Structure 1
């Protein structure tokens, strides 16, 4: 819906129902897409569940960053719940779960999708505050404050999508939005694009860029070149580029195709392309745990511990590797002690 914009998956498909021709027969493409939907759902649920367990059991939500990561993983995991219903609709070419289930699934879909994106944006702001001006923002980076912000993001997501979600119905055989006019759809599309993609993406880009600039400035001010500092900077740069690029790759095609669909009668016939871009948008929710595993030494250790693939968990200071690298960068430059507590989660 939202992600799908109240369009999301369904919206697209709901629109697809009105504007596009879907083949009724079950062929190789339909079977392949059903398998891919199932794979994304399983990976997303398993990966995000692992992140949630790791934070609750091993980290105890000891920092503001891990509070945001916890809520991001929770939203991403719940976002996967609606995927089997959408896959079933695409596979059978009809909604068989009833009108009430349609509205409930779309409400949950919208809340979790928006919350996921909002948490991601909040994390970019949190990381910038931790690195650029740690003393000035110290009181805003406590776990308690992060929990309040996260609760607000969940509530705000509900307020954002509820009016749109209630427009979904299964009266025509598909769980699709029932807007009075085409202008309503265009307005909702622009609204969800701004709130669910453009604004969060801009915030992430701006704050991550500012964070990297601040990080490089600190390293250059150090009287003695720091190999650990350079390594940490490179690690953070890779993380930032990966997060921004993957987010854009997963969501931009979805919104692009929705906007192009406004002109499909003249130039385009997307057909099954909507199924693919919806799947791609859902893939974002299972990409986050993979990014954690690739860019965070801490989460890799947590994952190994939970999967019994590594040594027993040791009660060492959280994010020790990242702290040591940041400490090396800041100590020679008179950096604040609080800055040494930076928690880089990816």
Structure 2
């Protein structure tokens, strides 16, 4: 049995299954909590809600992938193939983008505790969220074109991963561009806001001669930057290496290509692990939502017992 088939059955399938079982309840709880518990929405709640919805939709695609890999089956429905890859990559890049806006929101909140900045208004957050969804979809459009061409070349009988697609669009150039615009630039944004929050807190401590009470935003933003750095970097590096190895000018032996693909497969569940970790940030962003959700759950539990 080929090494990629072994990894798909005994590594990808259980990993995707575990990620769904852990991530889906957490994100569903957050989405329902925001809808039924939170009456007054602030800008950060809007960004977090969009992030949770994106994660929830993506996690719903994992059971089918896990089943197909476990049974060593290929995706036979072209529509399902396209939708799955589309949802996967939209989630991949919308997650880090919404985390950037959340970091911006935390920075502005530290700088303007009275929320007098227009970027802290819920209406502004709605506009930014809508533009973010639009931007991510524009980034993914070339990949959809590549997928359709690749499916046509294989008579709609083979659903390939992004790193294995071939078509009129230059796969390597597009992958590098997507890495830059979808990952590196937002990651730099997270790092910049982390530095700005730390610098602002340091200035406040010097001015007030006491420890400030705004340490939580710094911890949240820094943790988000570290999470995406650790989870996304291996995936993007190996994806570009995998795409480059398929180029005619690479002239790599098949054995080397096989090992590159195997290592690339190892990075995929790691990249998608952010959907499991993200709910932690929802509960760290403030006590109000956490208290409302716990109170709601307690009321439901009491009614159930009665």
Structure 1 and Structure 2 fold alike (TM over 0.5): yes
Matched, 1:283 2:273: yes
Alpha-carbon distance, 1:149 to partner: 1.2
Give the structure 2 partner of residue 55 of structure 1. Answer: 34
Indicate how the Cα distance of structure 1 residues 193 and 275 shifts in structure 2: closer, same or farther if over 3 A, else same.
same
Q: 1:118 to 1:236 in 2, by over 3 A?
A: closer
Corresponding residue of 2:78: 99
> Helix, strand or coil for the counterpart of 2:37?
helix
Are 2:19 and 2:273, in contact at CA under 8 Å, matched by a contact in 1?
yes
Q: Note closer, same or farther for the CA distance 1:287–1:24 as it changes in structure 2 (3 Å cut).
A: closer
8 Å contact kept, 1:72–1:116: yes
Q: Report how many residues are paired.
A: 284
**Aligned ranges 1:170-319 → 2 under 5 Å:** 170=151, 171=154, 172-177=157-162, 178-180=165-167, 184-223=170-209, 225-226=210-211, 229=212, 232-233=214-215, 235-261=216-242, 262-263=244-245, 265=252, 269-293=259-283, 296-308=286-298
In 2, the alpha carbon distance for the partners of 1:311 and 1:296 equals 23
- 1:123 CA displacement: 1.2
Shift of 1:214: 0.6
User: Which ranges of structure 1 fall in alignment gaps of 5 or more residues?
Assistant: 1-20, 313-346
| 1:63 Cα offset (Å) | 0.7
Contact in 1 for aligned 2:99/2:224 (Cα 8 Å): no
User: With structure 1 as the length reference, what TM-score do the two structures score?
Assistant: 0.72
Select the residue among 117, 132, 139 that pairs with 1:138.
Answer: 117
**Separation (CA, whole Å) in 1 of partners of 2:82 and 2:184:** 26
How far residue 175 of structure 1 moved from its aligned partner, in angstroms, is 3.2
**What SS is found at the alignment partner of 1:69?**
helix
Aligned-pair distance for 1:197?
Answer: 1.0
**RMSD, matched Cα:** 3.0
Looking at structure 1, the residues matched to 275 and 223 of structure 2 have their Cα atoms a distance apart, in angstroms, of 14
Cα distance in 1 for residues equivalent to 2:265 and 2:66: 9
Structure with the higher fraction of residues in helix conformation: 2
Residue of 103, 109, 128 corresponding to 2:88: 109
- Residues 120 and 295 (structure 1 numbering): CA distance in 2 closer, same or farther, change over 3 Å? closer
**C-alpha offsets along residues 273-318 of structure 1, whole Å, 9 cap, x if unaligned?**
3333111111111111123345644444344334439999xxxxxx
Unpaired stretches in structure 2, ≥5 consecutive residues? 247-251
> In 1, Cα distance between the equivalents of 2:88 and 2:5?
26
Aligned partners of 1:89 and 1:96 also within 8 Å:
yes
Structure 1 pair 106–166 and aligned structure 2 pair: CA distance change class (3 A): farther
Are the equivalent residues in 2 in contact too, given 1:61–1:143 (CA < 8 A)? no
1:72-91 alignment, distance < 5 Å: 72-91=51-70
Q: Distance in 2 between matches of 1:24 and 1:280?
A: 18
Other structure's SS at 2:159 match: coil
Tell me the CA shift for residue 133 of structure 1. 4.6
TM-score normalized by the length of structure 2 = 0.80
CA distance in structure 2 between the partners assigned to 1:204 and 1:80 by the alignment: 24
Mapped contact 1:132–1:214 kept (Cα < 8 A): yes
Moved more, 50-59 or 243-252: 50-59
Partner of 2:143 in structure 1? 164
CA, structure 1 residues 308+272, in 2 after alignment: closer, same or farther (shift >3 Å)? farther
Is residue 129–residue 137 contact of structure 1 (8 Å, CA) maintained in 2? no
Tell me if structure 1 keeps the 8 A contact 2:42–2:121: yes
Q: In structure 2, how many angstroms separate the alpha carbons of the residues matched to 1:237 and 1:310?
A: 34
